[in-house]
Amino acid sequence: MKKVLFVALLVAFFVSPFMAFGQTKVGDTKGFEPPKPKLEYLGKWTVELIAPVWELGQTSDLGKRRIIPITGGYFEGPNIKGKILNNGADWQIVTKDGLAIIDTRYLLQTDDGEYIYLQTKGYRFGPPDVLAKVGKGEVVDPNLYYFRVTMQFETSSKKYDYLNRHIGIAFAMRLGNAVVYDAYLVK
């Protein structure tokens, strides 16, 4: 009898904390739903790429590394306006099937003198014939290929501090010497 009582106490002591007596079932939302995304227009970005591209070749199994210098540009929206400084690049990888994995880092300077570090990550892909035209610098209907990036901001500016806590997304098009995109904050 003492052994049975001892085993029962051990089970109660060690197992019961892991049992969900009266607790909510895993995944029970209690009627709530995850928020639906809301987009707030941030502005139009024109990123200048007026410098030679560095082709590093096949650096990994993933694909060919290219470094595309960002030489300047500008951005303008309802609450923000400024220039893109000549100091960044896209550390891009292109896979065998033509997928461009975008990885940019560059510095913005607003018209009121504030600095904002911007990093984008995303993808550009489409039919081979369309991507060949884009690669030659031809202006191609951006609806014929996919070019999307996420945007992550970093600034010490009090005015633009809200950017530190929001993710942006952008819908882009590649021109011969620039990338143009419309940017939105995800609210």
DSSP 132: H
**Cβ atoms 161, 178 nearer than 8 A:** no
Residues ≥6 apart with Cβ < 8 Å to 10: none
In this model, does residue 83 exceed pLDDT 90? yes
Give per-residue pLDDT as tens, 12-65.
555 555 555 556 688 888 889 999 999 999 999 999 999 999 999 999 999 999
Cα–Cα distances in angstroms (integers) from residue 81 to residues 73, 142, 152, 178, 187, in the given order: 11, 24, 17, 18, 20
User: Could you give the C-alpha distances from 155 to 68, 90, 102, 110, 166, in angstroms and in order?
Assistant: 24, 20, 22, 11, 12
Taking alpha carbons only, the member of 149, 185, 172, 159 closest to residue 82 is: 159
Each residue's pLDDT tens digit, 103-147? 999 999 999 999 999 999 999 999 999 999 998 889 999 999 999
For the segment 158-173, the average pLDDT, to the nearest whole number, is 98
> Per mean pLDDT, which range of 14-18, 40-44, 151-155, 168-172 is the poorest?
14-18
pTM across the whole model: 0.83
What CATH number was assigned to the domain covering residues 46-186? 2.40.160.20
